[in-house]
């Protein structure tokens, strides 16, 4: 049976997880495939402009995947139909 110390030790162990490359918005990002720094930025991924390697954006979990529609400064969801 596992105690809480064992569970907490397993919760975050980078050696077991492996290498996790992400694109960081306010940093110089070198491509793990070719080493260059030219990126095409999308909503959820950044793609290397030379070799096509794709990395998830480190900030993508903060953004919604759906578009928010505004009408005259108010979100459409707050307007009556």
What local confidence, expressed as pLDDT, does residue 62 receive?
59
What local confidence, expressed as pLDDT, does residue 61 receive?
60
Q: Could you give the CA distance from residue 16 to residue 38 in angstroms, rounded to a whole number?
A: 30
Query: Phi, psi at residue 9, to the nearest 5°?
Result: -70, -30
In this structure, are residues 67 and 48 in contact, taking their beta carbons and an 8 Å threshold? no
What local confidence, expressed as pLDDT, does residue 19 receive?
75
Instruction: Output the tens digit of pLDDT for each of the chain's 81 residues.
Output: 555 555 555 666 667 767 788 999 999 999 999 999 999 999 999 999 999 999 999 876 655 555 555 566 655 555 555
What local confidence, expressed as pLDDT, does residue 14 receive?
64
What local confidence, expressed as pLDDT, does residue 27 receive?
93
């Amino acid at each position: 049976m596992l105690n809480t110390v064992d569970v907490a030790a397993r919760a975050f162990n980078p050696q077991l997880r492996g290498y996790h490359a992400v694109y960081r918005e306010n940093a110089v990002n070198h491509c793990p495939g070719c080493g260059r720094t030219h990126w095409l930025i999308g909503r959820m991924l950044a793609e290397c402009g030379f070799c096509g390697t794709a990395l998830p954006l480190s900030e993508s979990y903060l953004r919604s995947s759906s578009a928010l529609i505004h009408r005259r400064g108010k979100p459409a969801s707050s307007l009556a139909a």
